[in-house]
Structure 1
Amino acid sequence: MAAEGLAARAAAVGLLGAVLSEGQSMAEAVADAQGPLAGLTPSDKARAQRLALATLRHIEQCDRVLEPHLRKSPPREVKNALRLAVTELAMGGAAHGVVNAAVEIVRRGKRTGHMAGLVNAVLRQVPEAVFDGLPVQKMPRWLRQPLVHAYGRDAVAAIEAVQAGVPPLDLSLRAGGEAPEGEVLPTGSLRLADAGQVSALPGFATGGWWVQDAAAALAVRMLAPVAGERVLDLCAAPGGKTMQLAASGAAVTAVDISGPRMGRVAENLARTGLAAELVVADALQWTPDAPFDAVLLDAPCSATGTIRRHPDLPFIKDGSELPELVALQAAMLDRALGFVKSGGRVVFCTCSLLPEEGEGQLAAALERHAGLRVERLEIAGVAPEWWTETGGLRLRPDHWADRGGMDGFFMVRLVKR
């Protein structure tokens, strides 16, 4: 039997195994030349990723649906095939094709072939309204508890509700460039509800825009670069902020430790017709020739604010990396402050929901650096309640929930006196 879409579905099961059992990120599994996507057509690769990401957003619900029909937990390959099928059914997939594909995937497995009948029997019992009445997936305990303490249970539940949905695509627009039709957000980003293939959208080939979450785009607006200023973008890859800075007319130096990721920055700059000096270096070791007018630091962090776009993150992290990340962020912020002129400004940001990677870093920096002050700059489209008492901007996924939410970020503008 050659079920339609079998290759993509089998690859999706492989991606789930890579994330849930091997601890790979989705990006690592996708990039693996010998991984689950090897040999697939571009369309099958895209479909496999969509299916795997959708399943990761609903693992808890899938397991609740399956539990009454399983006497014991089956092997991981079988369970992931079942989870994928349940997710497809919940998404409105035709039951006949979904069930047949799951059965065939299990039948072809070297160690799972004998369980094809079980898969068929279980999936035939799955109700039509698969997830009706089931709560959305919760974040892991190591992350959820501190967020409840910081924002309250209602806010965390709202964040989880947004994370359960497929996020829209946000674009930052180059002035005068061609762009697809979409919703212009209050902060100026363009949002597409159903973008499809990004490279096929109007304006991609001519460099009219670049993909950048609306929350991430606010860091450059907070820095407010001026044409002719010398601006440093630290931890620059994949380059969305570098392009924003370059589009402002600033003379931009972009630094990142990853050569391959900086290659992507170079490609995007070329596509959009923008220019920046690219430096592959460790920001903790690199030293510029002269101080800058302004510095933007998007520091390495837990990325817990991006779960709506990266639902694999809760399954590959456990919070143990936080102390090392917090120390690195502090060291990089000190470094950034040393790169800026007296009277110059630094915007520090992290795509994290955890206060120790945001509000806590701000408080510690103000203690370490005499004369450092927070400067709040009003930004069009930013709601007043998003600002913290200390002048930072706290963005959460449940902001604009009715529009599809946004990434979680903390950002603050600091002035060195």
Structure 2
Amino acid sequence: MTDTPRPAARPRPAPGGPEPLGTASRRAALRLLDAVLRRGEPLESALAHATRALAGGPDRGLAHAIAAETLRRMPDLDALIDSATRQRLPDDAKARSALRVALVQALALGTPQHAAISTVLPLVDGGPRKLVHGVFGTLMRGNAKLPEVPTLPPAVAERWRANWGKDVAEAAARAIAAPPPVDLSYADPARVLPDATSLAAAHARVPAGSDIATLPGYDAGEWWVQDIAASIPARLFGRGSGLALDLCAAPGGKTLQLAAAGWQVTAVELSESRAARLRANRDRTGLAFDIAIADVLKWSPATPGDAVLVDAPCSATGIFRRHPDVLHRAHGGIVAEMADLQARILKRAAAWVAPGGTLVYATCSLEPEEGEVQIERFLREHPDYAIRAVTADELPAGIAPEPEGWVRTLPGMLEQAGGCDGFFVARVQRASA
């Protein structure tokens, strides 16, 4: 952003004239925001339908960028809007949504003011159009700015402060200021990009926005995209040659890790469309594993596994840096619902571990109900299992095990190196027969 005073926004063309170039992308961005905020859909899941009318990839990318940045900055955008209106607009008012889209472009994405407003005004009619134009102009003439560190949604900030403390909540706010770097996991540690940052064996970190398909080794299938924290669960099994069961496996990063480490892997996935990503990753990397399209609450393996990974469905609040929509979707009801599902999956998976075998439970959640509370309950209900403590030398540099023997990654960890997703990982071992 700049301190130079901005000119007043140019008025839109007369009603009935052609829409300004780029209006369709803004209309798609509004559809995306509506899908997330009103219907509770994940941003990525809503993308295809919301952008179906757009001609090409760049237009879809712009719609996604506008929606994602709006979700990163929404409390601060709303504070600006409320400062320039006599009466507060309802949260779901079309005028508020249009103003969010116009303001985030002008104040965060570098869009010229006239383009930011002229491509949004056709999306509202009548009095709301005049209101949007007036509020936008007032804020631009007043040299409105967004804070460098975004404000977390109040309910999220309160919950994370209560669970993890003020410093972690503040680190989370800093973490959503910009998209994070991209982590790559390698099948062969010797093939890691020599000029990339590496925080662990078989890991490389490249800048945000890197063109993934052009990086060395992509076509050869030498690596796959996977956050450093997401690589921890499979690392805790080490190398092996026995049967490994990867439950709820798609998109398959952990499956690929297990296969690369020598395990004979069966990846279980409920969704056929998500399983297609598993197959695509298998084809690209050449790593061998079996895929079972099944509901783990109904499916059972033919034989117990020496290694069982429960990468459980969760609220996904730990991946808010890459998916800011979770900050607005993952309320307490969803956390409770996911925690119940995790408990049922863990109960079934406990019976599928061979005597003396290992189970790793993981969630990309920052909610204790989906982590610490869950594994403590599991241990109370399964006396034949005990924590097999994680050691520091098993983890990426800068991440340490908790005193209880499990792993909790939080906002603020690895911050100087680009951060990491929020994860909970616990390794338990079944008693020998």
TM over 0.5: yes
Structure 1 369/24 Cα, relative in aligned 2: closer, same or farther at 3 Å? closer
Q: Secondary structure at the match of 2:354?
A: strand
Matched residue, 1:402: 416
Q: Secondary structure at the match of 1:343?
A: strand
CA drift of 1:104 comes to 3.5
Q: Secondary structure at the match of 1:373?
A: strand
Q: Secondary structure at the match of 1:321?
A: helix
Structure 1 200/85 Cα, relative in aligned 2: closer, same or farther at 3 Å? farther
Indicate yes or no: 2:300 matched with 1:296. no
Indicate yes or no: 2:340 matched with 1:327. yes
Matched residue, 1:7: 24
Distance 1:245 1:49 in 2: 33
Indicate yes or no: 2:198 matched with 1:151. no
Distance 1:380 1:217 in 2: 9
CA drift of 1:178 comes to 7.6
Indicate yes or no: 2:63 matched with 1:48. yes
CA drift of 1:52 comes to 0.9
CA drift of 1:181 comes to 5.2
Q: Is the 8 A contact 2:108 2:146 kept in 1?
A: no
Structure 1, 270-279 or 42-51: larger mean CA deviation: 42-51
**TM-score between the two structures when normalised by the length of structure 1:** 0.90
Distance 1:123 1:346 in 2: 55
Matched residue, 1:255: 268
Q: Is the 8 A contact 2:22 2:119 kept in 1?
A: no
Structure 1 382/297 Cα, relative in aligned 2: closer, same or farther at 3 Å? farther
Q: Secondary structure at the match of 1:102?
A: helix
CA drift of 1:149 comes to 2.6
Please show how residues 237-316 of structure 1 align to structure 2 within 5 Å: 237-316=250-329
1:8-51 alpha-carbon deviations (Å, 9 max, x no partner): 2332222122222333221231132xx34433301111121112
Q: Secondary structure at the match of 2:267?
A: strand
Matched residue, 1:362: 375
Please show how residues 7-406 of structure 1 align to structure 2 within 5 Å: 7-32=24-49, 35-72=50-87, 73=89, 76-91=93-108, 93-95=110-112, 98-106=113-121, 108-109=122-123, 111-112=124-125, 115-124=128-137, 125-126=139-140, 127-128=142-143, 130-132=145-147, 136-141=150-155, 143-175=156-188, 182-186=196-200, 188-226=202-240, 228-378=241-391, 379-383=394-398, 386-406=400-420
Report the aligned-residue RMSD. Answer: 2.4
Structure 1 26/92 Cα, relative in aligned 2: closer, same or farther at 3 Å? closer
Structure 1 202/85 Cα, relative in aligned 2: closer, same or farther at 3 Å? farther
Q: Is the 8 A contact 1:173 1:179 kept in 2?
A: no
CA drift of 1:231 comes to 0.8
Q: Secondary structure at the match of 2:266?
A: strand
Structure 1, 207-216 or 195-204: larger mean CA deviation: 195-204
Structure 1 181/87 Cα, relative in aligned 2: closer, same or farther at 3 Å? farther
Structure 1 200/6 Cα, relative in aligned 2: closer, same or farther at 3 Å? farther
Q: Secondary structure at the match of 1:58?
A: helix
Q: Is the 8 A contact 1:231 1:250 kept in 2?
A: yes
CA drift of 1:82 comes to 1.6
5+ residue gaps, structure 1, are none
Distance 1:81 1:99 in 2: 14
**TM-score between the two structures when normalised by the length of structure 2:** 0.86
Structure 1, 187-196 or 249-258: larger mean CA deviation: 187-196
Structure 1 327/393 Cα, relative in aligned 2: closer, same or farther at 3 Å? same
Distance 2:126 2:287 in 1: 54
Structure 1 77/191 Cα, relative in aligned 2: closer, same or farther at 3 Å? farther
Matched residue, 2:428: 414
5+ residue gaps, structure 2, are 1-17
Percent of aligned pairs sharing the same letter: 36
Structure 1 178/362 Cα, relative in aligned 2: closer, same or farther at 3 Å? closer
Structure 1, 173-182 or 232-241: larger mean CA deviation: 173-182
CA drift of 1:207 comes to 1.2
Q: Secondary structure at the match of 2:120?
A: helix
